[in-house]
Amino acid sequence: MRRSARICLAVVLLISAAACGSSGDGPASGGGAGKAGGKDKVTAGVIAIVDTAPIHLGKAKGFFDKQNIDLTITPVQGGAASVSGTVGGQFQFAFGNVTSLLTAAERGLPLKVVGNGVSSTGEQGKDFSAVLVKADSPIKSAKDLVGKRVSVNQQQNIGDTTIRASVRKAGGDPSKVEFVELPFPDAPAALQAGRVDAIWVVEPFLSQAVAQGARPIAWNFADAAPNLTVAMYFTTTKTDPGLVTRFRAAMDESLRYADTHPDEVRDILKTYTKIDPGVLAKMNLPRWPTQINRASVEAVAKAALGDGVLKREPNVGALLPAS
Protein backbone atom coordinates (compact mmCIF):
# COMPACT_ATOMS: atom_id res chain seq x y z
CA MET A 1 0.00 0.00 0.00
CA ARG A 2 1.36 3.42 -0.89
CA ARG A 3 2.38 5.61 2.07
CA SER A 4 -0.19 8.37 1.30
CA ALA A 5 -2.97 5.76 1.23
CA ARG A 6 -1.82 4.33 4.58
CA ILE A 7 -1.95 7.81 6.13
CA CYS A 8 -5.50 8.42 4.88
CA LEU A 9 -6.67 5.03 6.16
CA ALA A 10 -5.08 5.65 9.56
CA VAL A 11 -6.79 9.00 9.92
CA VAL A 12 -10.20 7.59 8.98
CA LEU A 13 -9.92 4.64 11.36
CA LEU A 14 -8.38 6.49 14.28
CA ILE A 15 -10.35 9.69 14.48
CA SER A 16 -13.49 8.87 12.47
CA ALA A 17 -13.04 11.89 10.25
CA ALA A 18 -13.65 12.34 6.56
CA ALA A 19 -11.39 10.50 4.14
CA CYS A 20 -8.20 12.28 3.15
CA GLY A 21 -8.26 14.28 -0.05
CA SER A 22 -5.65 13.92 -2.72
CA SER A 23 -2.78 16.33 -2.37
CA GLY A 24 -2.17 16.43 -6.10
CA ASP A 25 -4.43 19.40 -6.81
CA GLY A 26 -4.09 21.29 -3.52
CA PRO A 27 -1.28 22.94 -1.61
CA ALA A 28 1.62 20.71 -0.67
CA SER A 29 1.95 19.73 2.99
CA GLY A 30 5.47 18.38 2.95
CA GLY A 31 8.22 20.20 1.09
CA GLY A 32 6.44 23.54 1.18
CA ALA A 33 3.37 25.34 -0.11
CA GLY A 34 2.67 26.52 -3.62
CA LYS A 35 3.61 29.96 -4.84
CA ALA A 36 1.30 32.92 -5.43
CA GLY A 37 2.87 36.14 -6.67
CA GLY A 38 6.22 35.20 -5.18
CA LYS A 39 4.66 34.31 -1.80
CA ASP A 40 4.15 30.86 -0.32
CA LYS A 41 0.50 29.93 -0.73
CA VAL A 42 -0.62 28.48 2.60
CA THR A 43 -3.96 27.12 3.77
CA ALA A 44 -4.85 26.91 7.46
CA GLY A 45 -7.74 24.85 8.82
CA VAL A 46 -9.34 26.93 11.56
CA ILE A 47 -12.56 26.65 13.58
CA ALA A 48 -14.73 29.76 13.23
CA ILE A 49 -14.90 30.63 16.93
CA VAL A 50 -13.74 33.41 19.25
CA ASP A 51 -10.51 31.54 20.03
CA THR A 52 -9.18 31.95 16.49
CA ALA A 53 -9.62 35.72 16.18
CA PRO A 54 -5.83 36.36 16.07
CA ILE A 55 -5.21 34.52 12.79
CA HIS A 56 -8.07 36.42 11.12
CA LEU A 57 -6.78 39.69 12.57
CA GLY A 58 -3.22 38.87 11.49
CA LYS A 59 -4.32 38.19 7.93
CA ALA A 60 -6.23 41.48 7.82
CA LYS A 61 -3.28 43.42 9.27
CA GLY A 62 -0.80 41.99 6.78
CA PHE A 63 1.31 40.09 9.32
CA PHE A 64 1.38 37.00 7.08
CA ASP A 65 2.15 39.05 3.98
CA LYS A 66 5.13 40.44 5.88
CA GLN A 67 6.40 36.85 6.23
CA ASN A 68 5.93 36.20 2.50
CA ILE A 69 2.86 34.03 3.16
CA ASP A 70 -0.34 34.21 1.10
CA LEU A 71 -2.73 32.84 3.73
CA THR A 72 -6.10 31.21 3.05
CA ILE A 73 -8.19 30.43 6.15
CA THR A 74 -10.51 27.44 5.66
CA PRO A 75 -13.26 26.87 8.25
CA VAL A 76 -13.39 23.39 9.84
CA GLN A 77 -15.93 21.85 12.22
CA GLY A 78 -13.59 20.71 14.98
CA GLY A 79 -10.34 19.13 16.10
CA ALA A 80 -10.81 15.85 14.23
CA ALA A 81 -11.30 17.68 10.93
CA SER A 82 -8.27 19.86 11.63
CA VAL A 83 -6.07 16.84 12.26
CA SER A 84 -7.31 14.77 9.31
CA GLY A 85 -7.08 17.74 6.95
CA THR A 86 -3.51 18.49 7.97
CA VAL A 87 -2.29 14.90 7.82
CA GLY A 88 -4.08 14.39 4.50
CA GLY A 89 -2.51 17.48 2.88
CA GLN A 90 -5.57 19.75 2.71
CA PHE A 91 -3.94 22.24 5.11
CA GLN A 92 -0.35 23.15 5.89
CA PHE A 93 -1.33 24.38 9.36
CA ALA A 94 -4.37 24.06 11.61
CA PHE A 95 -5.78 24.90 15.04
CA GLY A 96 -6.60 22.20 17.58
CA ASN A 97 -7.19 21.87 21.31
CA VAL A 98 -4.62 20.28 23.58
CA THR A 99 -6.48 17.02 24.18
CA SER A 100 -7.13 16.44 20.47
CA LEU A 101 -3.43 16.90 19.73
CA LEU A 102 -2.32 14.66 22.59
CA THR A 103 -4.71 11.96 21.37
CA ALA A 104 -3.49 12.27 17.79
CA ALA A 105 0.15 12.05 18.91
CA GLU A 106 -0.62 8.96 20.99
CA ARG A 107 -2.02 7.32 17.87
CA GLY A 108 1.17 7.95 15.96
CA LEU A 109 0.02 10.71 13.61
CA PRO A 110 2.97 12.81 12.35
CA LEU A 111 2.05 16.13 13.95
CA LYS A 112 4.14 18.90 15.47
CA VAL A 113 2.91 21.96 17.35
CA VAL A 114 4.01 25.28 15.87
CA GLY A 115 2.95 27.70 18.60
CA ASN A 116 0.25 28.83 20.97
CA GLY A 117 -3.35 29.23 19.87
CA VAL A 118 -5.46 30.41 22.80
CA SER A 119 -5.28 30.39 26.59
CA SER A 120 -7.58 30.66 29.57
CA THR A 121 -7.65 33.96 31.42
CA GLY A 122 -7.09 31.92 34.58
CA GLU A 123 -9.68 34.05 36.39
CA GLN A 124 -12.69 32.57 38.12
CA GLY A 125 -15.78 34.38 36.88
CA LYS A 126 -13.94 36.06 34.01
CA ASP A 127 -12.99 33.23 31.67
CA PHE A 128 -14.39 32.23 28.30
CA SER A 129 -15.40 28.71 29.37
CA ALA A 130 -17.77 27.61 32.14
CA VAL A 131 -20.18 24.95 33.36
CA LEU A 132 -23.72 26.32 33.70
CA VAL A 133 -26.95 25.20 35.36
CA LYS A 134 -30.49 26.57 35.43
CA ALA A 135 -31.05 29.50 37.78
CA ASP A 136 -33.18 27.41 40.16
CA SER A 137 -30.97 24.29 40.04
CA PRO A 138 -29.93 22.76 43.38
CA ILE A 139 -26.43 22.34 41.94
CA LYS A 140 -24.18 24.86 43.68
CA SER A 141 -20.66 23.70 42.81
CA ALA A 142 -18.78 21.24 40.64
CA LYS A 143 -18.94 18.69 43.47
CA ASP A 144 -22.72 18.55 42.96
CA LEU A 145 -22.24 17.33 39.37
CA VAL A 146 -21.64 13.81 40.69
CA GLY A 147 -24.47 11.62 39.39
CA LYS A 148 -25.67 14.35 37.01
CA ARG A 149 -25.83 14.64 33.21
CA VAL A 150 -23.46 17.26 31.79
CA SER A 151 -23.27 18.21 28.12
CA VAL A 152 -20.00 18.61 26.23
CA ASN A 153 -19.54 19.26 22.52
CA GLN A 154 -17.37 16.16 22.17
CA GLN A 155 -16.67 13.36 24.64
CA GLN A 156 -13.16 12.21 25.51
CA ASN A 157 -11.81 15.68 24.85
CA ILE A 158 -10.77 18.89 26.60
CA GLY A 159 -14.30 19.63 27.84
CA ASP A 160 -14.85 16.55 29.97
CA THR A 161 -11.16 16.42 30.94
CA THR A 162 -11.27 19.92 32.44
CA ILE A 163 -14.74 19.46 33.96
CA ARG A 164 -13.45 16.39 35.80
CA ALA A 165 -10.65 18.62 37.07
CA SER A 166 -13.28 21.02 38.46
CA VAL A 167 -15.16 18.17 40.13
CA ARG A 168 -11.96 16.75 41.61
CA LYS A 169 -10.88 20.18 42.86
CA ALA A 170 -14.28 20.65 44.56
CA GLY A 171 -13.98 17.31 46.35
CA GLY A 172 -16.24 15.19 44.15
CA ASP A 173 -15.70 11.92 42.30
CA PRO A 174 -15.27 12.80 38.60
CA SER A 175 -15.79 9.20 37.50
CA LYS A 176 -19.45 9.48 38.52
CA VAL A 177 -20.33 12.37 36.20
CA GLU A 178 -22.31 11.37 33.10
CA PHE A 179 -21.30 13.24 29.94
CA VAL A 180 -23.53 13.56 26.89
CA GLU A 181 -22.64 15.12 23.56
CA LEU A 182 -24.45 18.28 22.45
CA PRO A 183 -23.23 20.94 20.01
CA PHE A 184 -22.60 24.25 21.79
CA PRO A 185 -25.46 26.06 19.99
CA ASP A 186 -27.95 23.40 21.18
CA ALA A 187 -26.81 23.21 24.80
CA PRO A 188 -28.65 26.21 26.34
CA ALA A 189 -32.03 25.03 25.05
CA ALA A 190 -31.35 21.49 26.29
CA LEU A 191 -30.56 22.89 29.73
CA GLN A 192 -33.74 24.96 29.90
CA ALA A 193 -35.79 21.94 28.74
CA GLY A 194 -34.29 19.76 31.47
CA ARG A 195 -32.68 17.25 29.12
CA VAL A 196 -29.38 17.75 30.95
CA ASP A 197 -28.54 18.97 34.45
CA ALA A 198 -25.62 21.17 33.39
CA ILE A 199 -23.89 22.31 30.23
CA TRP A 200 -20.33 23.18 29.27
CA VAL A 201 -20.07 26.07 26.82
CA VAL A 202 -17.49 28.58 25.64
CA GLU A 203 -18.02 32.11 24.36
CA PRO A 204 -20.22 33.38 22.80
CA PHE A 205 -22.56 30.62 23.98
CA LEU A 206 -21.54 31.28 27.58
CA SER A 207 -22.75 34.88 27.52
CA GLN A 208 -25.85 33.92 25.54
CA ALA A 209 -26.83 31.26 28.09
CA VAL A 210 -26.22 33.58 31.04
CA ALA A 211 -28.41 36.20 29.37
CA GLN A 212 -31.14 33.55 29.20
CA GLY A 213 -30.89 32.91 32.94
CA ALA A 214 -28.25 30.17 33.25
CA ARG A 215 -25.89 30.29 36.23
CA PRO A 216 -22.15 29.41 36.23
CA ILE A 217 -21.09 26.87 38.87
CA ALA A 218 -17.54 26.09 37.66
CA TRP A 219 -14.91 27.71 35.46
CA ASN A 220 -13.34 24.52 34.18
CA PHE A 221 -10.40 25.93 32.22
CA ALA A 222 -9.35 28.06 35.19
CA ASP A 223 -9.74 25.02 37.49
CA ALA A 224 -7.69 22.64 35.34
CA ALA A 225 -4.37 24.53 35.49
CA PRO A 226 -3.15 28.10 36.04
CA ASN A 227 -3.28 30.02 32.75
CA LEU A 228 -4.20 26.90 30.81
CA THR A 229 -3.04 26.61 27.20
CA VAL A 230 -6.30 25.48 25.62
CA ALA A 231 -5.37 25.06 21.95
CA MET A 232 -2.38 25.39 19.65
CA TYR A 233 -1.48 25.72 15.99
CA PHE A 234 0.18 22.67 14.45
CA THR A 235 1.49 21.16 11.23
CA THR A 236 2.99 17.85 10.11
CA THR A 237 6.55 16.81 10.77
CA LYS A 238 7.22 17.03 7.00
CA THR A 239 6.45 20.73 6.59
CA ASP A 240 9.40 22.86 5.51
CA PRO A 241 11.13 24.23 8.66
CA GLY A 242 11.63 27.65 7.09
CA LEU A 243 7.92 27.95 6.38
CA VAL A 244 7.15 26.85 9.94
CA THR A 245 9.43 29.57 11.31
CA ARG A 246 7.76 32.26 9.20
CA PHE A 247 4.24 31.04 10.01
CA ARG A 248 5.04 31.11 13.72
CA ALA A 249 6.50 34.63 13.42
CA ALA A 250 3.28 35.82 11.79
CA MET A 251 1.14 34.04 14.39
CA ASP A 252 3.17 35.44 17.28
CA GLU A 253 2.65 38.97 15.95
CA SER A 254 -1.05 38.20 15.50
CA LEU A 255 -1.36 36.85 19.05
CA ARG A 256 0.40 39.85 20.57
CA TYR A 257 -1.81 42.24 18.61
CA ALA A 258 -5.04 40.47 19.53
CA ASP A 259 -4.09 40.30 23.20
CA THR A 260 -3.60 44.07 23.35
CA HIS A 261 -6.40 45.24 21.02
CA PRO A 262 -9.69 43.77 22.33
CA ASP A 263 -11.84 46.25 20.42
CA GLU A 264 -10.29 45.15 17.13
CA VAL A 265 -10.79 41.52 18.14
CA ARG A 266 -14.51 42.19 18.60
CA ASP A 267 -14.58 43.93 15.21
CA ILE A 268 -12.87 41.07 13.36
CA LEU A 269 -15.29 38.57 14.92
CA LYS A 270 -18.08 40.26 12.98
CA THR A 271 -16.42 39.16 9.72
CA TYR A 272 -16.45 35.38 10.29
CA THR A 273 -19.02 34.68 13.05
CA LYS A 274 -22.68 35.55 13.57
CA ILE A 275 -22.45 36.61 17.20
CA ASP A 276 -25.21 38.95 18.33
CA PRO A 277 -23.76 42.48 18.68
CA GLY A 278 -25.07 42.79 22.24
CA VAL A 279 -23.35 39.57 23.27
CA LEU A 280 -20.21 40.47 21.32
CA ALA A 281 -19.77 43.69 23.28
CA LYS A 282 -20.02 42.03 26.70
CA MET A 283 -18.57 38.54 26.41
CA ASN A 284 -15.33 37.45 28.06
CA LEU A 285 -12.38 37.24 25.69
CA PRO A 286 -9.63 34.63 26.17
CA ARG A 287 -5.93 35.43 26.44
CA TRP A 288 -3.54 35.09 23.53
CA PRO A 289 0.04 34.86 24.85
CA THR A 290 2.74 33.79 22.43
CA GLN A 291 4.26 31.26 24.81
CA ILE A 292 2.76 27.81 25.36
CA ASN A 293 2.27 27.04 29.05
CA ARG A 294 4.04 23.67 29.05
CA ALA A 295 3.14 22.94 32.65
CA SER A 296 -0.54 23.29 31.80
CA VAL A 297 -0.23 20.97 28.78
CA GLU A 298 1.44 18.40 31.03
CA ALA A 299 -1.36 18.84 33.58
CA VAL A 300 -4.00 18.16 30.91
CA ALA A 301 -2.02 15.13 29.73
CA LYS A 302 -1.80 13.77 33.27
CA ALA A 303 -5.53 14.30 33.85
CA ALA A 304 -6.46 12.73 30.50
CA LEU A 305 -4.28 9.73 31.31
CA GLY A 306 -5.84 9.34 34.74
CA ASP A 307 -9.35 9.61 33.31
CA GLY A 308 -8.67 7.03 30.58
CA VAL A 309 -8.84 9.47 27.67
CA LEU A 310 -5.19 8.64 26.94
CA LYS A 311 -3.98 5.06 27.26
CA ARG A 312 -0.31 5.76 27.90
CA GLU A 313 1.77 8.68 29.10
CA PRO A 314 2.36 11.02 26.16
CA ASN A 315 5.69 12.48 25.10
CA VAL A 316 4.69 16.13 25.51
CA GLY A 317 8.21 17.32 24.70
CA ALA A 318 8.16 15.60 21.30
CA LEU A 319 4.85 17.25 20.39
CA LEU A 320 5.69 20.81 21.45
CA PRO A 321 8.26 23.11 19.82
CA ALA A 322 11.68 23.40 21.41
CA SER A 323 10.94 26.93 22.68
If asked whether residues 214 and 259 sit together in one domain, one would say no
**177 close to 163: Cβ distance less than 8 angstroms:** yes
If asked whether residues 17 and 47 sit together in one domain, one would say yes
Q: Which pLDDT belongs to residue 322?
A: 84
Dihedral (CA of 13, 16, 21, 27) sign: negative
If asked whether residues 193 and 237 sit together in one domain, one would say no
Specify the pTM: 0.85
Q: In the chain, how many domains are there?
A: 2
If asked whether residues 181 and 272 sit together in one domain, one would say no
- DSSP codes, 40-103: EEEEEEEESSGGGHHHHHHHHHTHHHHTTEEEEEEEESSHHHHHHHHHTTS-SEEEEEHHHHHH
Q: Which pLDDT belongs to residue 72?
A: 98
pLDDT average, residue stretch 26-46: 69
What tens digit of pLDDT does each residue of 61-110 get? 999 999 999 999 999 977 778 999 999 999 999 999 999 999 999 999 99
If asked whether residues 210 and 277 sit together in one domain, one would say no
If asked whether residues 113 and 233 sit together in one domain, one would say yes
Would you say residue 7 has pLDDT above 50? no
Give the residue from 98, 100, 52 showing the smallest Cα distance to 73: 52
Mean pLDDT for the chain?
89
**41 close to 70: Cβ distance less than 8 angstroms:** yes
If asked whether residues 72 and 155 sit together in one domain, one would say no
**End-of-domain residue from the set 172, 197, 224:** 224
Would you say residue 17 has pLDDT above 80? no
Instruction: Report percent pLDDT > 70 for the chain.
Output: 89
What tens digit of pLDDT does each residue of 266-308 get? 999 999 998 999 999 999 999 999 999 999 999 999 999 999 9
**End-of-domain residue from the set 208, 224, 240:** 224
Looking at the DSSP assignment, which residues form a beta bridge with residue 215? Answer: 133
If asked whether residues 110 and 20 sit together in one domain, one would say yes
Q: Which pLDDT belongs to residue 38?
A: 82
Q: Which pLDDT belongs to residue 77?
A: 78
If asked whether residues 253 and 314 sit together in one domain, one would say yes
If asked whether residues 40 and 136 sit together in one domain, one would say no
Would you say residue 111 has pLDDT above 80? yes
Residue 172: domain span: 129-224
Give the residue from 268, 285, 123 showing the smallest Cα distance to 206: 285
Q: Which pLDDT belongs to residue 299?
A: 95
If asked whether residues 28 and 93 sit together in one domain, one would say yes
Read off the amino acid at residue 232: M
**End-of-domain residue from the set 200, 224, 248:** 224
If asked whether residues 94 and 40 sit together in one domain, one would say yes
Q: What crossing angle do the helices spanning 241-260 and 262-272 adopt, rounded to 10°?
A: 110
The H or E element spanning position 111 is: strand 111-119
What CATH number is attached to the domain comprising 143?
A: 3.40.190.10
